[in-house]
């Protein structure tokens, strides 16, 4: 059995024959820690095939998932923030905007567009958390308002996909005004009997939750999304009590009547198009 015994210790592969595994081939789920091929993870709508953890994704993924053949017309693609307050923290606000635009390839924290979803015409506004925490500034409010205007003009259903840390502090009162602005436009949709579906994803908090995210004819969410106004730590320190288990999760919010249903991202397109077809 000498052939079964390793005579030499260690690995003696010459350096020139070693091969490094290319980056990006594998995805490790932050929830269950299991490994999945990146390609399989993408085909599974960026959800873990082992525990169904929904990875945080941006507007590019949602548009690809929802619009037929990823064909859509983007609205107000070049709208960018000004600096009405001449705000400076660790850097000037315009410099922060430019740096974030260069890093993310986005103009601001929301993108809007119209196209077909399973042959149903729809207008979609989708937020991007990577752009200053998906914060709601004047551009976010304006782009959503204009998307609603397009929906009104063309009598097409409106889908809002929210993912935000709340108001953009660099714009102070200008940011808070977007709550009233978008809510007023949504009231016009209601008057015209045009469906509005609000999809809350992880996380949806702050002024976004306090305005357009919770004003849908149907308020729906992805599994285990964080939904709330203030964060759990702030609430705990304010009331001086421990919070219930699962507090501010989509399941907790659904149980207490603030959501209509929770939908898996893999089923999102079919569920939404079926719902809109029934509402015609």
Banded model confidence at residue 3, pLDDT cuts 50, 70, 90 = low
pLDDT at 180 over 60: yes
Distances (CA, A) of 245 to 22, 231, 254: 41, 14, 14
Residue-wise pLDDT for 33-42, tens only, equals 999 999 999 9
Distances (CA, A) of 267 to 258, 262, 274: 21, 10, 11
Asked if residues 112 and 146 have their Cβ atoms less than 8 Å apart, the reply is: yes
- 9-32 burial by CB neighbour count: b if 16+ within 10 A, else e? eeeeeeeeeeeeeeeeeebebeee
CA distance 90 to 41: 37
CA distance 279 to 197: 11
DSSP 21: P
Banded model confidence at residue 234, pLDDT cuts 50, 70, 90 = confident
Neighbour count for residue 75 (Cβ, 10 Å): 18
pLDDT score at 237: 87
Two structure tokens written together for 245: 């288990």
Percent of the chain with pLDDT over 70: 92
Banded model confidence at residue 13, pLDDT cuts 50, 70, 90 = low
pLDDT at 12 over 70: no
Percent of the chain with pLDDT over 90: 83
CA nearest to 144, candidates 218, 196, 220: 196
What mean pLDDT is predicted for residues 56-81?
Answer: 97
Q: Which residue has the tokens 């079964």?
A: 4
pLDDT score at 15: 59
For the chain, give the mean pLDDT: 92
What mean pLDDT is predicted for residues 163-183?
Answer: 95
Neighbour count for residue 35 (Cβ, 10 Å): 12
Q: Any idea which of 44-53, 177-186, 223-232, 249-258 has the lowest mean pLDDT?
A: 223-232
pLDDT score at 18: 56
pLDDT at 4 over 60: no
CA distance 104 to 154: 31
pLDDT at 255 over 90: yes
More confident residue, 5 or 249: 249
CA distance 258 to 247: 13
Residue-wise pLDDT for 109-132, tens only, equals 999 999 999 999 999 999 999 999
pLDDT at 1 over 60: no
């Amino acid at each position: 059995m000498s052939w079964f015994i390793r005579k030499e210790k260690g690995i003696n592969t010459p350096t020139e024959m070693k091969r490094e595994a290319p980056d990006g081939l594998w995805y490790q789920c932050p929830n269950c820690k299991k490994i999945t091929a990146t390609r399989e993870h993408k085909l599974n709508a960026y959800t873990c095939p082992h525990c169904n953890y929904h990875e945080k994704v941006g507007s590019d993924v949602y548009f690809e998932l929802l619009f037929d053949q990823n064909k859509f017309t983007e609205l107000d693609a070049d709208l960018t923030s000004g600096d009405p307050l001449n705000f400076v923290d660790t850097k000037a606000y315009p410099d922060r905007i430019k740096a974030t635009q260069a890093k993310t390839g986005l103009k601001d924290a929301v993108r809007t567009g119209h196209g077909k979803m399973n042959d149903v015409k729809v207008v979609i506004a989708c937020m991007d958390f990577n752009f200053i925490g998906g914060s709601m500034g004047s551009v976010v409010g304006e782009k959503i308002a204009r998307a609603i205007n397009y929906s009104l003009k063309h009598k097409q259903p409106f889908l809002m996909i929210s993912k935000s840390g709340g108001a953009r502090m660099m714009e102070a009162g200008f940011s808070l005004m977007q709550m009233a602005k978008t809510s007023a436009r949504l009231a016009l949709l209601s008057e015209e009997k045009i469906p509005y579906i609000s999809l809350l994803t992880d996380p949806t908090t702050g002024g976004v939750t306090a305005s357009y995210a919770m004003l849908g004819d149907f308020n729906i969410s992805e599994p285990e999304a964080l939904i709330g106004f203030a964060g759990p730590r702030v609430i705990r320190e304010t009331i001086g009590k421990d919070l219930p288990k699962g507090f501010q999760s989509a399941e907790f919010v659904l149980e207490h009547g603030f959501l209509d249903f929770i939908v898996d991202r893999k089923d999102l397109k079919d569920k939404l198009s079926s719902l809109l077809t029934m509402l015609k």
